[in-house]
A and B are shown apart, each in its own frame.
Chain A
Amino acid sequence: MKLTVNGAVTGVDADPDEPAVRTLRDGLGLTGTKLVCGTGVCGACTVQVDGVPRASCITPTAALADREITTVEGLGGEHPVQRAFAAHDAMQCGYCTPGFVVEAAAFVDGWRVEHGDTEPSREQIAAAMAGHLCRCGAYQGIYAAIAAACAGRHDEPAEPARVDAAAKVTGAARYTTDVRLPGQLEGVIIRSPHAHARVDAIEANGVPLVDLRPADGVVRYAGQPVAAVAAADHAAATAAAARVEVSYTPLAAVTEFGSALAEGAPLVYDTEESRKSALSSAEGANLPGRWQGNLHTTSGLPLPGGGTAERRIERARRRGDQRLVSAVYTTAVQVHSALEPHASVARFDDAGHLHLYISTQRVSAVADAAAERWKLPREQVHVVAEHVGGGFGAKANLTADAVAAVELARLTGSPVRVVLDRAEELTDGGSRPGSRTELSLLADERGRLAALTVDAQGDGGASTGSSVGLMARLMYGTAPRRIRDSDVLTNLPPGAPFRAPNGPQLAWALEQAVDEMAHRLGEDPISLRRRWDGNPKRRALYETAAALPLWTGRPATGSAAGRFRRGVGVAAGNWLYMASPKTQVELTVERGTVVARSATQDLGTGLRTVIANVVREELGLPADRVRVEIGSSDHVPGPPSIGSRSTTSVGPAAHDAAVRLRTALREGAGTAGREAPVAALLDGADGLRVTGRRARDRGGYLLPFSVADAAIGRGMSGAVHVTEVEVDTLLGSVRVTRVWGGLAIGRVYAQGPARNQAEGAIIQGVGYALFEQRRADPATGVLLTDNLEDYHLPGIGDTPEMEIHFHPDGWEYVTGGGVGLGEVSAVGVAASVGNAVYNATGWRPLDLPIRPDRLLEGINR
């Protein structure tokens, strides 16, 4: 059929009933248009049809006939909305950006015709963008960008807030899902329909197939990979997968957290062998522990004073002490759902080298793992992740998509791409384990913390590795405490590390308990934390927070009347500071430009911008004289984007490299060059190359050794969130209206992206607090929330007004003076929402998410 796309008439061989997004991407190669949800919910596939935005995943290709189609590529790059998105940093990973931009372009153009160059309200922008989702949570920048573009403030080019903004707003940024290699086949993973079964046989029936069965041949959740097949395109691969016969012997399954510990419950892992190789939601190796049926209790380091804590709490309980706060708090399973799904494209070249394009947070570690798994010399493995559409912790390993792609490429001799669809991503793409935490907190007669006990059970499906209680060891001084962590195993998809693993689960319990204690003691919750919390950096944040009008103007708890009730809550966050000591950044002068390289990646955090900023600042160079090339394992060693350690590792290495480059340039230029600006010396220095390293922190790290280049540094990073909500007591909804986020992370390397990431943590926390909940069918263990209509991500209309405050002091001993913020900024948000709901209603929510039905039941009880 003939289509008019971006002003040109093109012929394309397309099925008129296929979603238009497939025709545009696969048929015409217009990969700026992204396919994410497939159900018209997220808007990443938005194109204009005769000027009207349409979700192309729910538009049959037939509907494009005789229409003018405009994709993001057709906007050119100079549309005021594109400039505004770049200037206001209205993006992180960038995967949703083309869809937002295409919709916003139509909105802004229409607005200016109708209203002139004026600013629409937040509500008007939210209504116009209601069909879009940004998992990173860059909504604050999106509001600002659209308002400014409507007001006519971006009719001229402006400096972008991040160096890859232009690529992201034009659709030029290439993600793994966009990779097209000559002769590339499409791979599809065959997954178990059973929650628990033994795979007896796989009959390929002539289809090229690789076996992905677990070592013991037992699948332990519905959706677990069993095999993978490849064919010329997606439709053919799906048809090939249907020809494969897998025979299973179904085993009894346990699909509910609540019944996994019942007597006679089927065992998820029933042999010593299977327990040793159990799946894990933790980074790295399995945590050692003790098994009793489906209960796995982690053997943590025992704490001195554990017995004292237990005895004090038991005695307080017996005497009915009001200063004992004791409750059970639960959190739901939260799914990562990065908008770019897990995706891999593998190719073996004629020399036997493996080229693996993969949506990953760890190009280096994935290359190491691939070399080991397929017994290749490390230098023959080349891992590429040019742009990464979000990860949040779930894209750190050689996941099933990668294994399938590599093995199918080896089997077929052709490049093979494997991209998870949204149902697969929401099922097997990673999740934050749920939790059930019984927490008791006792204050003495002078209001000091006297004892703390935590009994936490992780709800990570078929994975162990939950350690919710860990952070309770490291906060609120040294009062006696007893912490116990365990996992309750079920036949449900396993967890994965998720931005501050275990942090929000613990904060939901601990920070609400501290709030409750303040209430019992008749003390201001910030003032109580100031007394209890020994962390000097966080104490500085408490000072600032206590003086906020938002805080001083908060209502007395339960004093609000009427249908809509306002409340304000506070919560603290605590996190480890980690770094990658082996990080290097290499600078090369190429045709007058400084090119920075490191084997790291940018999944939306702004790492490219961090490197560019440091080099530009140190050398006094304009933007067009510095280029950053990351996302390749072939570069000098760089950090993974996990553990909040990429910026604090790369920043100092880039600085060191810049200093070395200036020295080398000046040496090369002799006496004449001693005073010359660096820019003037670049033209004569083609090929000059230096390597910068991250110097050791003053005083070294907490531990003298590091595992997998992860050094645990000295000192904890801190956060404080002050959150305002409005509760509709009639219909049960909670709106988070304002949030102040204070972060004690020292130097901020890139203001825009740092602020953006901290705001995104708030958005994700709002989702965690109010909307996000994975649900499974109890009879089969099949997930019902395997689509974005049933799994609820926060939208732009759910975005509070946010203010981010960076406290600069306290990290002077750290090389570069700044630490990571990705995780600490995410820890306490949901707890602050819980405390705000309590302040508004007098009812304390113990279970996440705070759904309307739970709220209504709670306040009407």
Chain B
Amino acid sequence: MSTTAPTSLDGVAEALASGGRPRAGGTDLTVLHRLGLARGPYVDLGGVAALGGVGWRADGSARIGATTPIAEIAADERLRAAYPALTATAAALATPQVRAAATLGGNLLQRNRCSYLRNPHFSCHQSGGTGCPARTGVHANGVAVDQGPCVAPHPSSLAMALVGYGATAETRARGTLAVADLYGDGSDPTRDHLLPEGEVLLAVDLPVPEPGERAAYRRATARTAAEWPLVEAVARLVVTDGRVRAAGVAAGGVARTPLRLTEVEQALIGRPADAAVLAAAAALAAERCRPLPQTGYKVGLLRDTVRDVLERAAEQG
């Protein structure tokens, strides 16, 4: 069997059933293929019209097809008005070229960027071996919330933003599940998402937009662009009469899974959106950290990145 490009979902299912591996933008799969970490035959999803594009329901909520390019999400005016935290995240990740080719589904289901995983000299839990050479070696970019044997942070910025919205995913076989449930609790060191082989992510469904939502996204990096975040965070706030009425806060770059920071949200809701409240709420994010020897700096950086997005979200409007 060779690489195929079916035009219907049934065609995709058939190709996957005979051992194919789904490919959307191919931006990472092409690299993994070259490194010998992924093997075809590939099933190109780009020809299946039903998998792409943004749709809107009567209640004002959006459904985004799995093969919608990230650049399209970032540039969609209506999405920007309804889900500003999502579009801000989409606009800030990777580079224009990657955003043009990479898709929502590919971003959610991508492999992590651990340099040990991608180096053919090493084997680890993720590449079929046992153990984690990063844990005993260099893990300065690793997790600060140690959830399990693997120490590579989850790479998907969009997953973080969607977790912050409480969005759901629809898959072909399993139906609807929370986006957070694509990832579990981070204790499985062998993979970056929990969908079984042969499964296809169809779309992501967002909840009804909150009128008046203000949002901010930040990735803490050394360079100005094109760098995987040390820590990233996104905040959505609805502020009425100076008080926080609703909040969604999530962070990435610190754990095996994207994290929704409900403790931070709880500390905000019903309180005035002033600097002291925001700082105190952000400080709670640090409490769940259990850093590795080289990631102690991420504890404070997580707190301060959360503080940055809360302050910037609160300043708007």
Contact = CB atoms under 8 A, between A and B. Distances in A.
Interface of A: 16-17, 19, 38-41, 43, 46, 52-55, 57-60, 62-63, 65, 103, 126-128, 130-131, 193, 222, 730-733, 735, 770-771, 775-780, 782, 784-787, 789-790, 792, 794-795, 797-798, 849, 851-853, 856-857, 860
Contacts of B218: 731
Chain B interface helix/strand/loop/mixed: loop
A159 B116 CA distance: 49
B68 to A, nearest CB: 15
Interface stretch (B94-102, B198-206, B257-265): B94-102
A59 B301 contact: no
Interface of B: 2-3, 5, 23, 26-31, 33-34, 40, 42, 44, 46, 94-98, 100-101, 113, 115-116, 118-119, 121-122, 133, 136-138, 140, 218, 220-228, 230, 297, 300-301, 304-305, 307-308
B133 A59 contact: no
Contacts of A733: 220-222
Contacts of B101: 54-55, 58-59, 63
Q: Considering residues A46, A731, A732, A771, which has the most beta carbons from chain B within 10 angstroms of its beta carbon? A: A731
12 contacts: A16-B2, A55-B101, A58-B98, A63-B46, A131-B94, A131-B95, A193-B121, A770-B222, A777-B133, A787-B118, A797-B223, A853-B301
B100 A784 contact: no
A130 B96 contact: yes
Given A17-B40, A40-B97, A779-B133, A731 B308 contact: yes
A71 B292 CA distance: 46
Contacts of B46: 63
A732 B226 contact: no
A57 B133 contact: no
Nearest to A778: B137
B223 A784 contact: no
Nearest to A55: B97
Given A58-B26, A60-B23, A731-B220, A784 B95 contact: no
Contacts of B137: 777-779, 784
A795 B100 contact: no
B225 A795 contact: yes
Given A126-B225, A778-B137, A789-B113, A852 B97 contact: no
B226 A41 contact: yes
Contacts of A779: 133, 136-137
Contacts of B121: 193, 222, 780, 782
B140 A130 contact: no
Contacts of A787: 115, 118
Given A41-B226, A775-B138, A779-B133, A857 B297 contact: yes
Nearest to A15: B3
Contact of B224 (A16, A52, A735, A853): A735
A431 to B, nearest CB: 17
Contact of A40 (B98, B118, B227, B228): B98
Contact of A856 (B26, B34, B301, B307): B301
B132 to A, nearest CB: 12
Contacts of B223: 770-771, 792, 794-795, 797-798
Given A127-B225, A782-B122, A853-B140, 5 more contacts: A130-B95, A732-B301, A849-B222, A852-B230, A852-B301
Nearest to A46: B97
Contacts of A790: 115
B52 to A, nearest CB: 14
Contact of B5 (A53, A55, A62, A127): A62
B187 to A, nearest CB: 25
